[in-house]
Amino acid sequence: MDSRQRRTATKAPRKSTKAEKSAAEDVHVRITEFAVPSEAPSVEGGRYVYGIIEAKQPLSFGKMGIGGAGETVYTVNFQEIAAVVSKTSVYIFDPTRENALAHEHVIETVMKTHTIIPMSFGTVFRTDDDIREVLRSIFVSLKDVLKQMEGKLEFGLKVNWDRDRIIEELKDSDEEIRQFHQEITRKHLQSTYFARMQLGRMIDKALSERAAQYVRDIYEALRNVCVASRDNKPIGDKMIMNAAFLVERDREAEFDAAVNKIAKFYGELLNFKYTGPWPPYNFVNIRLKLERGAS
């Protein structure tokens, strides 16, 4: 199992907090003075950027850069912030498993000692000076986001359910459904289109309500151990919850315990897929919009 998915256990839709909302705002950078790396790389190559951290001095994180050549991962500093980068002779990285894992591995390593604002996979600049110019141009925004994310980690929680089991349970426990089901069975209306559609509507409504209730309860159980949460769209028809939680680094164990407790409470009824820690992907959104210089 992927070490990032080691957790065993999973939040109902809580609205974004003010801090979370502001952290998730886009930071747009328009660079007009520097060429965007889209042509053949220079002799020295480009710079693959993994993320932004707070660092007053240049740092090195070892030879683990993306691209398979074991390039040193180091920082390009501007005042007290820095971009974590490695040299590369490639400007466009395919999102292969190997590349994605290399990108993640660097972020994971840096995360152990620093709060990192992750960059999107495949962010490449031409030179250290280009990177410094970006850091300079959005220094205030980066400082602000770093401050908000300081000492916080992200955890993912996906919750799946066994829909068929819930339907069977509803047929027994939901009085309205139970009675209607009995009635159409008794009157041999199983093959009647309108009766079946009516039963389907009742079950569908009950399923939606039940899912919403579970999700609310899970969020409620985790509300006091996280800083913020984000509700993403569930994937597929088995998933009822797809959330991300921002948690204080020193409350990780508490969050862990709360997730495991709620997962244990639901037992086999719900399946919790708990992952992390991750950098705050869901709470920071920095897009660097680069434009080729007129020169």
Summarize as ranges the residues that interact with another protein (CB under 8 A). 164, 167, 190-194, 196-197, 199-201, 203-205, 207, 237
Residue 204 C-beta: closest distance to another protein, Å: 4
Amino acid in the structure at residue 13: P
H-type alpha helices, 52-192: 97-111, 128-137, 139-149, 163-173, 175-186
Residue 211 C-beta: closest distance to another protein, Å: 12
Amino acid in the structure at residue 33: E
Residue among 181 and 251 whose Cβ is closer to another protein: 181
Residue among 68 and 95 whose Cβ is closer to another protein: 95
Compute φ and ψ for 286, nearest 5 degrees: -115, 120
Residue 236 C-beta: closest distance to another protein, Å: 9
Residue 166 C-beta: closest distance to another protein, Å: 12
Q: How far is the C-alpha of 100 from the C-alpha of 267, rounded, in Å?
A: 34
Residue among 68 and 200 whose Cβ is closer to another protein: 200
The b-or-e profile of 11-48 (16+ CB within 10 A means b, else e) is bbebeeeeebeebbeebebebeebeebeeeeeeebbbb
Residue among 178 and 287 whose Cβ is closer to another protein: 178
Residue 95 C-beta: closest distance to another protein, Å: 18
Compute φ and ψ for 130, nearest 5 degrees: -60, -40
Residue among 56 and 205 whose Cβ is closer to another protein: 205
